[in-house]
Amino acid sequence: MIKNTIISEHATALRKLRCVGGIVFNHWDRHRRRGIDPNPAILEGVDGSGKSTLGADLGRHLHEHYGVPAITVHALKVDPKHWERDWIVAARLTRRASRDGIAVIWDRAWQSEPVYSKIMRDKPVVVPPRLKTAWERTGALGYLLDVPVALAQRRLRERGDEDFEDVYRALPKLALEYRDSREDLRLKFTTEPRSETTFDKIVQEILLGELR
């Protein structure tokens, strides 16, 4: 399995998807993959909803059981003034990696920007149609990990993040905003992200979902 990596400024590091953790995939044998061209997956939800854990488990499972190289990519640290541009670049690079047979699993993606901007910064943003189109072309499957707010808050307390207090207090509003915006953000509702049934369903959709 490819090691996790954090993509920052303008997603340029995503260009290195073929060579992460010292493993080069330039000569990946498609026959060994049995023709699998995995769809990217986007895991969304409030802090403490289990995105990172699920992403790591999915990547490990895809590699060990299907021989598909996988990488979990954490949300971009984008320039607020150019967030649309950065996420369109990320979409193009994600699509390229998927076509090379790599399962790209995003731990947050463009959907977080309108939710957190509205609740945390009181600055609603409009998602441009061309950004949504760019991500639709990747074949990405979006999942909203909807867990009880009390559970997410407990995980935040245990984690002890630097911005713990602000996010902790905002969790109920963030969770509600995600639910209300789910359809517009192209997210499937997932109420039990850690259940075996949900896990298996996501794996199969990554492997057998609509091809680009």
Q: What value does the mean pLDDT of the chain take?
A: 81
Q: Report the distance separating Cα 201 and Cα 169, nearest Å.
A: 33
- SS3 call for 70: strand
pLDDT at 32 over 60: no
pLDDT at 66 over 80: yes
CATH number of the domain residue 87 falls in: 3.40.50.300
Instruction: Give the list of residues 6+ apart from residue 13 with CB closer than 8 angstroms, or none.
Output: 5, 6, 7
pLDDT in tens, 158-195: 887 656 788 899 999 999 999 999 999 999 988 787 78
Q: Among 62-71, 137-146, 153-162, which is the least confidently predicted range?
A: 153-162
Q: Report the distance separating Cα 70 and Cα 1, nearest Å.
A: 6
What is the reported pTM?
Answer: 0.83
pLDDT at 190: 85
pLDDT at 163: 67
More confident residue, 34 or 4: 34
Tokens 């990488």 belong to which residue?
Answer: 71
More confident residue, 100 or 25: 100
pLDDT at 10 over 50: no
Tokens, residue 206: 């990554």
How many domains are there within the chain? 1
Q: Are 149 and 136 in contact (CB under 8 A)?
A: no
Q: Which domain holds residue 105?
A: 5-208
